[in-house]
Homo-oligomer: A and B are copies of this chain.
Amino acid sequence: RSNGQRLIETLESACAWGNTPDGGMNRLACNDDDGKVRQWFIDETKKCGCEIKIDAMGNMFAIRPGQNNNLPPIGIGSHLDTQPTGGKYDGILGVTSGIEVLQTLHANNITTYAPLAIINWTNEEGARFPPAMLASGVWGGAFTTEYGHGRTDQNGVTLKQELERIGFLGKTPCSFEANPLSAHFELHIEQGPMLDAAEFPVAVVRGVQSIRWYSIDIVGREAHTGTTPMDRRSDALLGAAKMIVEANRFVTEGDLAARGARATIAVIESGPGSINTIAGKVRLNLDIRAPTDLDVALVEELCRARFHEICEEQGLTMDIDHFWTSPALHFDPTMVQCVRESANKAGCQMELVSGAGHDSVYTSLKVPTAMMFVRCRDGVSHNPAEYSRPEDCAAGAEVLLGAYLRYDNY
């Protein structure tokens, strides 16, 4: 059995770097605080006899030998990076629950059939280096290492530069082929309101919904706000505002709303940034999600058509860069069954499809993968108020341990 008290202590130490005055976390991928928690991860896992491998994307694998060390390890992974307004559970609970499994095996002197790898995937959030799940995506073959290395933050700094700077540009090539696993489990907080509403501590995750990300550049014409008649303007920010309103309307009305489609624009930059110069250039990022790929495509189509109309009406030009697709996905039935049996044993029958993407999306391209969710208060995440009760975290870790041991036996 795992130790809930120890898990919470591990979670707290994993949150020692990058915390904000409001009780949340701001530990963007590859910043100094990410560097510090990575060192902590090495120290913590080495205490349990692990060997550390770091790959070219900075992914960290803490490997504990098993009885059959010619088998690739079974992975338990998640991430230690956070949103700029992140909480203390998103990703961090997954890695620390993995460490809890490791510590339980270690304390009980258990040698598993296959080796075990506790994994910290780099830049899962994608908040600093879009897209999300970038480094597990490279491992899973969705992106090349060059693509991953070249992704830039808002200041134009590349991920590779930052990995080098914090000392975590590893030598192991980043791929399943060069550094295989035999399976991947991930525990994560739900980040949504379903478990909280249903009053279950833990859920089985059957799959992940469909996601697409876009970068949209809108070009109008800079002009004087005081002298330019309203009917002679090409106002890029007005056009952008109409797009934001329309994208929202498509997913809050009719069938798409009923089928749970979501569309969000959260990032906007407007230039030249002067109160009395009409905006000539705006960049938006659009995030579309739905349970099915078809519905995501439908929202995209509606947006494209309406956005083009808005550009015509407002005298604007536009460029839409659809730079990320993460299709809807079902996890491996055997792995899901291991999680299900373990969750049922803990009295949890709820099964969910994830609204968020996770590193498990990309590991599932190469190896049998499954996830479990822990309830979080009001479903709030990507917010300093994110919170999961200690007993729910403990229940999650116990379900993880059970699912993992079932698969290792199997």
- A residues within 8 Å of B by Cβ? 83-85, 125-127, 130, 132, 154, 190-193, 209, 211, 213, 221-232, 235, 237-238, 240-242, 244-245, 248, 251-252, 257, 260, 262, 264-268, 270-280, 285, 287, 289, 354-357, 379-384
Contact among B84, B221, B228, B271 for A273, CB-based, below 8 A: B84
Complex CA gap A279/B289 in Å reads: 17
Closest to A130 in B: B275
Instruction: Please tell me if the beta carbons of B223 and A382 are within 8 angstroms of each other in the complex.
Output: yes
Shortest C-beta distance, A291 to chain B (Å), equals 11
Complex CA gap A272/B86 in Å reads: 10
Q: A127-B274, A241-B241, A245-B241 are in contact. Are A379 and B228 (CB under 8 A)?
A: yes
Q: How many copies altogether?
A: 2
Contact among B227, B245, B266, B274 for A355, CB-based, below 8 A: B227
Complex CA gap A154/B227 in Å reads: 25
Instruction: Please tell me if the beta carbons of B266 and A277 are within 8 angstroms of each other in the complex.
Output: yes
Shortest C-beta distance, A361 to chain B (Å), equals 11
Closest to A314 in B: B248
Residues of B within 8 A of A209 (CB): 226
Contact among B191, B237, B265 for A244, CB-based, below 8 A: B237
Shortest C-beta distance, A32 to chain B (Å), equals 18
Instruction: Please tell me if the beta carbons of B276 and A222 are within 8 angstroms of each other in the complex.
Output: no
Residues of B within 8 A of A232 (CB): 193, 379
Instruction: Please tell me if the beta carbons of A227 and B264 are within 8 angstroms of each other in the complex.
Output: no
Shortest C-beta distance, A272 to chain B (Å), equals 4
Instruction: Please tell me if the beta carbons of A248 and B252 are within 8 angstroms of each other in the complex.
Output: no
Q: A230-B251, A242-B245, A252-B231 are in contact. Are A276 and B126 (CB under 8 A)?
A: yes
Contact among B83, B223, B242 for A380, CB-based, below 8 A: B223
Beyond the given pairs A126-B274, A193-B229, A266-B274, 17 more chain A to chain B contacts, judged by CB atoms under 8 angstroms and listed by A's residue number, are: A127-B275, A192-B227, A209-B226, A224-B355, A225-B287, A225-B382, A226-B354, A235-B264, A237-B244, A241-B241, A264-B278, A266-B276, A267-B275, A267-B279, A268-B270, A274-B382, A280-B383
